Amino acid sequence: MSTMRWLTGRAWGTSKSPRLSIMAITRDELIRILAEADPVGLIAGGAPQDAYAAEADAILALKGVPRLTEVTGVFTVSFSEPGACTRDTARWITEEMGRRAG
């Protein structure tokens, strides 16, 4: 059974008033996104498709819509390497999360 996480965040409309945006994504879908992004090359090196499950769990544990710095931070902590996930890769991950949210 897949777990689903509701991510919420603030988005600004043209009237400058905040509105709430909501995104729901399953753990399995986020693991697929991270495998496609393959920020540190685990999948390219032959690791199983769920090699980024711990990172998916850490991202899903964040409050609200994940920010780029939070996503890069998850990989920095997991792999003890600053820059393990570039800002461009983190941006792609967060954009894919939004696109694939149910």
What was the pLDDT predicted at 102?
66
Alpha-carbon dihedral sign for residues 9, 12, 15, 16: positive
- pLDDT of 24 reads 84
| pLDDT tens, residue order, the chain (102 aa) | 444 444 444 333 333 333 334 468 999 999 999 999 999 999 999 999 999 999 999 999 998 889 999 999 999 999 999 999 999 999 999 999 999 986
By DSSP bridging, strand 4-12 and strand 18-26 are antiparallel
* Cα distance between the two ends of the chain: 16
